[in-house]
Amino acid sequence: MTSRTLRMRPRRAAVFSLHTSPLEQPGTGDAGGMNVYIAQTSRRLAELGTEVEIFTRATSSDVPPIAELAPGVLVRNVVAGPFEGLDKNDLPSQMCAFAAGALRVEARHEPGYYDLVHSHYWLSGQVGWLARERWGVPLVHTAHTLAKVKNANLAEGDSPEPRVRVLGEEQVVDQADMLVANTEFEATDLIDRYEADPDAVATIPPGVDLEAFTPGSTAAARAELGAPADALVLAFIGRIQPLKAPDVLLRAAAELLRRRPELRARLVVLVVGGPSGSGLERPRALHQLAVDLGVEDVVRFLPPRGGQELAQVYRAADVVAVPSHNESFGLVALEAQACGTPVVAAAVGGLPVAVRDGVSGLLVDGHRTEQWADALSSVVLDRALRDRLASHAREHAATFSWARTTESLLEAYAQAKLAFNRSLRIEEVTA
């Protein structure tokens, strides 16, 4: 950490996560890698001396107004709209109510209570833009996903992101003092598709919890999940929606059994997660697809899980599939590799960074069933290849850590403060 970073480290940061809370279990609804990102970086910011207050929308009357995530990290559940019955597409109508709640909290303190705002996702970025103006503090924004990128890589049958989101993202990109991109690919998208100032974009890869996700006994993990010790285990972990493409794994499994019918007695396909996004419209669609493909006997649907339960799923698998149509990074891929499990992933978004092709896993161009069946079977059936990939998986994952991510965030915060001060001086000169 540089001396400048230490000097300009914020005493207290307001983190906006309007549409999902870091207290929610990733893998269903709108909870995913962003929730993990916010929780992990907030904890470490607090450990380094920056208090964090996370503002999120209350989705139940049972949640308290304030909850402690960790020492130095508070979650403020802001009442904005009805507790239930709103999905992410309804939330633009609640941005004013959410902003009013956040501003009301700040108004109860002395001016200058928050030193910086860090917004996550475009909805929060819109509120962060207002807070920047009202509080006179820098705005740092992390998009996590971008509408223009998602619309360019839509899954078949999925709905494009609306125009209101595209416009909202363009505004936030224009107003933020610093934009945090997960990879150079995302940074390029911000610059080329959204005309972001290259000097205002910091590339900071997410991390992985290398203490929670570690290699362990495959036999013990399979016994815990009720899978045979000699099974061939393919796993998908994540939200069940077209964007994440769990159907690609099921179709590849069906193709694998068509080629090698004798594998049916050993094949186990784990699908861990819950319906999300457009997948909520047909929550049983993936179950029905398994029936239609004739693989319902080998597919096991499990609810979302975290901590050691999730680590055991990774350890039980011979390979974890990440067939998404778009991923800003792909934390699932990193967590699997940290457990020593190879990954077969789509070569999209940040996944070529999260997975070292041919070293810690395999990347697949496109989503054709035959290609995925080839890649998955090569890892599952070739013990030498699987062992070689597994031996490098943990090594690759170890190059990422939340501690490194958080230190880089503090540097980005310092850059945002400098940019914000420059903008104030320009305004004074031109006034």
Q: Give the model's confidence band at 5: pLDDT under 50 very low, under 70 low, under 90 confident, else very high.
A: low
Give residue-wise pLDDT tens across range 295-308. 999 999 999 998 89
Would you say 11 is a known binding-site residue? no
Would you say 112 is a known binding-site residue? no
Beta-carbon neighbour count of residue 157 at 10 Å? 10
Would you say 8 is a known binding-site residue? no
Least confident window among 108-122, 135-149, 156-170, 336-350: 156-170
Would you say 425 is a known binding-site residue? no
Specify the pLDDT at position 215.
97
Would you say 178 is a known binding-site residue? no
Specify the pLDDT at position 7.
67
Would you say 317 is a known binding-site residue? yes
Would you say 88 is a known binding-site residue? yes
Q: Where are the domains of the chain?
A: 3-207+402-430, 218-399
Q: Is it true that 3-207+402-430 and 218-399 share their CATH fold?
A: yes
Would you say 145 is a known binding-site residue? yes
Would you say 273 is a known binding-site residue? no
Superfamily of domain 3-207+402-430 in the CATH hierarchy:
Glycogen Phosphorylase B; (3.40.50.2000)
Specify the pLDDT at position 187.
97
| Distance of alpha carbon 180 from alpha carbon 121, whole angstroms | 11
Would you say 150 is a known binding-site residue? no
Would you say 156 is a known binding-site residue? no
Residue 61 has pLDDT above 90, yes or no: no
- CATH for the 218-399 domain, from 3.40.50.10880, 3.40.50.300, 3.40.50.2000, 3.40.50.1260: 3.40.50.2000
Would you say 422 is a known binding-site residue? no
Would you say 314 is a known binding-site residue? yes
Would you say 151 is a known binding-site residue? no
Would you say 128 is a known binding-site residue? no
| Mean pLDDT for all residues in the chain | 93
Residue 22 has pLDDT above 80, yes or no: yes
Would you say 171 is a known binding-site residue? no
Would you say 170 is a known binding-site residue? no
pTM for the whole structure: 0.91
Residue 29 has pLDDT above 70, yes or no: no
Least confident window among 82-86, 317-321, 328-332: 82-86
Give residue-wise pLDDT tens across range 37-51. 999 999 999 999 999
Would you say 104 is a known binding-site residue? no
Residue 83 has pLDDT above 80, yes or no: yes
Residue 389 has pLDDT above 80, yes or no: yes
Residue 278 has pLDDT above 60, yes or no: no
Specify the pLDDT at position 15.
98
